[in-house]
Amino acid sequence: MAGSGRTTVRSRVRSSADADGGETKPNLKRRRERSKYGSTIPIFNSSVNLKVLLGISFVAFFIIFFQIRSLVNYSEQPQLPRAVTPFPAAKIMDLPQFQGEHKESLYWGTYRPQVYLGIRARTPQSLIAGLMWIGVKDGRYHLRHVCRHEDELDTYGWIKHDGRDFGHQVLDDHGLNLATTFLKSKGDGSGYGGDWAVRINVQIDKSKWNEEFGEGAQLFFYLADEGGNVLDLSRENLNIRGDSLLASGSRMDIGDWQLHLKSMDNLELHYSGFHTPHFHNLSDLVEENLASQIRKHARLQLSDSLDDSPNVLVFQIVGGFPFTADIALISGTDSESSGVEERISNLTGTSLTNLLKDKEQAFDEKFETIFKLTEKVDSESVSVGMAAVGNLLGGIGYFYGRSNIALPRIVNLNEHVSYIPYWPAELYTAVPSRSFFPRGFLWDEGFHQLLIWRWDIHISLDIIGHWLDLMNIDGWIPREQILGAEALSRVPAEFVPQHPTNGNPPTLFLVLSDIVNGLKNNEFTAMDRSEISLFLDRAFVRLEAWFQWFNTTQSGNQMGSYYWHGRDNRTMLELNPKTLSSGLDDYPRASHPSGDEHHLDLRFWMLLAADCMRSIEELLDKETKPEKDYGFTAKLLSDLELLNQMHFDDAYGAYFDFGNHTEKVQLKWKEVEAVHGHASRKLVRDTLERPDLRLVPHIGYVSLFPFMARVIPPGSWILEKQLELISNRSLLWTDYGLRSLAKTSSMYMKRNTEHDAPYWRGPIWINMNYRILSALHYYSKENGPYQQRAKTIYEELRSNLIRNIVRNYQQTGFLWEQYDQIKGKGKGTHPFTGWTSLVVLIMAESYGQI
């Protein structure tokens, strides 16, 4: 654009000279021009006029000089990098099916999964609500708000949630038992998105509660307006016996609104109002206010005061055990037909009780209709399955912000700039863990959607559409979405920037394949079929770009080979440089990262993607382009002979990665420079022999990707070998599920650094066990010499997984990120109702065509 700008300047200079078709010479003779009144005006008739003209020329020269200079400087400024340039196609979320009633029906929700109870709307600057309370741990008071492992709650999570307008959650905090129930209602007179209510029930477990800490609970319910709108307190002396109104305000989206609290119990109320531009640290404001009151008045209560123009109101609710409080937000109170009193009555007290019973029953019936578990597992397993679905759906969040994209040194930018912001974007997504990973992760999301699409296809398509709309011009999607101040506050700075050279397993093709097969099998209504087809048609160009990004940037040095970019080939601190982009983090790869690597798992993610693209192409009756022949790619990547040549080891009977590798690598303590006069030691990598190009002999989840993809013929001896690897207790088999890495591996349960415990080097992960079970189920139905063997292994593995997950939930109150391969105990992050919720599909024996 800068170049064309300079051309325009030059063309303007030429245009006046070329108007008569040739070059004009300046006429220096005096001449006279006639004015509109008929008199003549001399042009060069005095020395004064000459000086004026010279002055004007002088000024004009400098104006032209500075214009040209600014144009040159503009041309030298960096253009918007491709990494942060949006994909040039119509957004999926602009489809009519995601507007109107659909959009409004999902406007309000429990879309703040990072806090124990958080409500917001799907808009960048929302009215947000949440709950805090004072808990007791180790003999001290603690304010609860953000989901944290350190709080050591006995359990918490949505045990039932429909993803739309109902959810029931239990929270057990060292003897203090809270139950929070959410209900949304759209009635006559409601503003956009309708009204919502929260019921909070408080009890104690006397066997755990220390009576020294009182006979009542202290809750803090808050409202905050991210748009900066002022919130009005109803009155200074709050007394819900006389009037249930707590606060009111007005917004462009929902109109005027009111917040009401009703209870049959004797409650004491206090309040504080704050004005702040920051909403990720609201608990800090409450703690500071309480601390000030303790210092001044020796009492644990809010100050009953307001900042000027408060955009945050916090209400302290104090009650003796047990008590129940109903809080309702009524929108559109400025309309003539608002019927405020009737709507308050419907969302509190007995009416609310009846509505919640109906919603709970509807959840139970829908759960059984979809998953049909009562005929497959016992009642305890059904309850765990409901909790898995409930907390997955209740953990869906809405986020808005800008990702930070890591870039190499950029010309004309400060050399210290290591990242550049993505465009502002919104994301509606499930999350792996409300406590530790309360944000979107690309490869997790495909597994989440395997369950969510079966529950609510419209929510699933909405989520997938949001993810695909995050694609840049190259077809790349950032793998971890850290959007907004709340998300940023939870992530160490070094993990925030996303690298546009690095991929992540394209697991959205898992759910898209499932949905396409559902269309083929007539599993949807006519209306749903139409909307799914429109979705796929709009998404196709983005899916093509995503496939091509992988197929070009992650391709290896041989046809049909791929490798994950992003491994550190210079590190001296890692035993085996991590492959974070693969999702399998520290799973052992070639000891020396290089472009010569062939990663087996990525090859089969590409097979899944190619096969899915071929199916969508056929479904939409699109013409196959020679340069984008997905059928040919799928056939190439599933060719058993080519696969065996590149990845199969006859001696092991197993498939492996290929790369520059040696087994003789270890971590060794080494003296390093003195720190403050004291010598220190550090674990560093020590390579004892030169690596060479070879298969990487580590049996584990990666070895089973060809098996998971079902490319091994049912009658092949290689299938028998895979079944032996799976069922061998000295390798992968345990009584709790399949290990991620064989016991015989040199990397089995080895630390990767001084500070990194083994992650994918032994523990049991449910997403991979689900995919392996799916393949076993497939081979147990295929005629062949190993059919019965596959069936026996399938049934035992399924039983082991269900039994262990249910047992852990009953003992700990949580689903876990991973499970110990020796005793089956839950490990890592909790609650982890991301892909661990796939236990529901394992119970239901619902595997699709993956």
Q: Which residues are catalytic?
A: 585, 817
Beta strands in 138-215 (DSSP E): 140-144, 155-161, 166-173, 176-185, 195-204
Residue 312 CB coordination number (10 Å): 21
| Encoded amino acid at 238, one letter | L
DSSP assignment of 537-580:
HHHHHHHHHHHHHHHHHSB-SSTT-B--S---SS-SS-SS--BG
Structure tokens at 264: 């049959």
Tokens representing residue 166 in the block:
């109902």
Q: Which two tokens stand for residue 601?
A: 């798992």
Question: How many C-beta atoms surround the C-beta of residue 52 within 10 A?
Answer: 11
Tokens of 246: 């707590």
The answer to whether the CB of 197 falls within 8 A of the CB of 327 is yes
Q: Are 650 and 590 in contact (CB under 8 A)?
A: no
CA distance linking residue 440 with residue 430, whole number of Å: 7
Which residue type, as a one-letter code, is found at position 198? V
Which residues 6+ apart lie within 8 Å of 520 measured at CB? 619
CA 834/CA 845 separation, integer angstroms: 18
How far from chain centre, in Å, is Cα 326?
31
| Residue 59 vs residues 13, 65, 85, 375, 403: alpha-carbon distances, Å | 18, 10, 41, 91, 47
Q: Which of 199, 507, 384, 405 is nearest to 812 (CA)?
A: 384
* 670, 684 Cβ separation under 8 angstroms: yes
Q: Which residue has the tokens 């507007």?
A: 99
- Residue whose C-alpha is closest to residue 254's, from 329, 348, 346, 166: 329
